[in-house]
Amino acid sequence: YTIQDNDQGSTRTKFFTNAPSIEVDALFLKSFTFRTEFTYNDFSQENGNSTIYKFWDASLSYRKDKDAKFEYVLKATNLLNTKSQINSSASDFSVSTSEYFIQPRYVTFRIIYSL
């Protein structure tokens, strides 16, 4: 949880960011690994305006055993298809809020060969 409080004399701005996250990495059946990461972001201003965005990525990989040369990975990014996120910054001279657009949901399949 962060608070950005900026006082520029006649103008005062206050931004609040709450961004808890969780990561899970689980090995099962001796050959599969499931990984996932979820982040919840609540960006708000003192006047009550609030923007919430969430990110969720996950992957499932298979490797026959620890000595296997090949690993197969199915990976999904931006599963919730979040469109954008907001960041703010404040200094002695300016206060700004920026919106960044995020790549849409996509899924990849990878084959990894280890020498």
The mean of the pLDDT values for the chain is 88
Q: So what's the pLDDT on residue 45?
A: 76
pLDDT higher at 70 or 11: 70
The answer to whether 6 and 14 have CB atoms below 8 angstroms apart is yes
pLDDT at 97 over 90: no
Q: pLDDT tens for residues 8-50?
A: 677 777 778 888 999 999 999 999 999 999 999 888 877 777 8
CA distance 34 to 61: 7
CA distance 71 to 12: 54
Q: Say if pTM beats, i.e. exceeds, 0.85.
A: no
Contacts 24+ apart (CB under 8 A), 51-57: 51/86, 53/82, 53/84, 53/85, 53/86, 54/80, 54/82, 55/80, 55/82, 56/80
Delimit the domains of the chain by residue range. Answer: 2-113
